[in-house]
Structure 1
Amino acid sequence: MSELSELYQQVILDHNKKPRNFRKLETANHSAEGYNPLCGDQLTVYLNLEDDAVKEVSFEGSGCAISKAAASMMTQAVKGKTKRDAEALFSDFHRMVTGEDYENNASERLGNLKIFEGVREFPVRVKCATLSWHTMHAALNNQELVSTE
């Protein structure tokens, strides 16, 4: 197994077993529910937006290891970001896992989220990796429900 594959497995397993920000956010002023009918993943993303910035973010739900790990890492990545920066990160992440071209500086912005780059090789898993991101995007835009279908 390559070092990158091993690192990918370690990170996914760590965030799946001990997801960060896994709770209902009582101070949330935005939230959305997301569902992936292919895999059965379902989650709710909670946001506390203040002055157009993500002050707090959390999620609850159940799903496969990729879905839960992606949600955990998404919460870490968008916390403290402006709404605009969170949306840009969503776009960068989505382009990366779907194999679309993305800006040269996107790689730097994605940071440790680049661990999900290999997901593009497994099209069925792309929806697992992007569910939390689509749900966060929906919450930012006052949409209550999103599906990967």
Structure 2
Amino acid sequence: MSSNLDALYRRVIMDHYKKPRNRGVLEDGSHTINMNNPTCGDRIHLTFNVKDGIVEDAKFEGEGCSISMSSASMMTEAIKGKKVEEALKLAKIFSDMMLGKEYDDEVDLGDIEALQGVAKFPARIKCATLAWKAMEKGLKGEEHE
């Protein structure tokens, strides 16, 4: 990746970290998930509403590094208005991207693409994927942590 692209991606990540989108709690959220990464202390509280198979709204609160919090901001933006299946497909694509696997690059990832460089730092992958794993658990109806 070129240094210009690296710089652009860093700016996108820091923008989501400093001005997170969808920060807060949905008081009437139909799904609530709490997860943490005990390795580094990142934690997330994710609430979202699903109606007729569509993720209508999503919000998050939490504490963590710039990667985990910006990823949560990007994830909530990406899933709002999507069908549950589409949101789960995005989570799979994101996971594959983080693990350096081939993924469906036909899907427009928007700002999420800025996190692809995290794959070069294995210790930070859990930071980037925390919010996504919480969303998957919530959409699949798995137990809260």
Same fold (TM over 0.5): yes
CA distance in structure 1 between the aligned counterparts of 2:25 and 2:143, rounded to whole angstroms = 15
Of the structure 1 ranges 94-103 and 119-128, higher mean CA displacement relative to structure 2 is found in 94-103
Alignment map for 1:63-142 (pairs within 5 Å): 63-105=64-106, 108-142=107-141
Q: TM-score, normalised by structure 2?
A: 0.94
Which structure 1 residue ranges, 5 or more long, are not aligned? none
Question: How many pairs does the alignment contain?
Answer: 144
Kept in 2, the 8 Å contact 1:33–1:45? The answer is: yes
After superposition, give the CA deviation of every residue in 1:39-90 in whole Å (9 maximum; x if it has no partner): 1000111110000110000101100000000000000000000000000000
Report the CA distance shift for 1:127/1:5 in structure 2 as closer, same or farther (over 3 A).
Answer: same
3-state secondary structure, aligned to 2:73: helix
Q: Which amino acid aligns with 1:103?
A: D
Of the structure 1 ranges 95-104 and 44-53, higher mean CA displacement relative to structure 2 is found in 95-104
Which structure 2 residue ranges, 5 or more long, are not aligned? none
Identity of matched residues, %: 43
Of the structure 1 ranges 55-64 and 7-16, higher mean CA displacement relative to structure 2 is found in 7-16
3-state secondary structure, aligned to 2:29: coil
Structure 1 residue 57 corresponds to structure 2 residue 58:
yes
Flag as ranges the 4+ runs of structure 1 deviating above 3 A: none
Q: Which amino acid aligns with 1:48?
A: N
Q: CA deviation at 1:18?
A: 1.1
CA distance in structure 1 between the aligned counterparts of 2:142 and 2:26, rounded to whole angstroms = 17
Kept in 1, the 8 Å contact 2:23–2:73? The answer is: yes
> What's 1:43 paired with?
44
Kept in 2, the 8 Å contact 1:32–1:143? The answer is: no
Structure 1 residue 22 corresponds to structure 2 residue 20:
no
Q: CA deviation at 1:104?
A: 4.1
Q: TM-score, normalised by structure 1?
A: 0.91
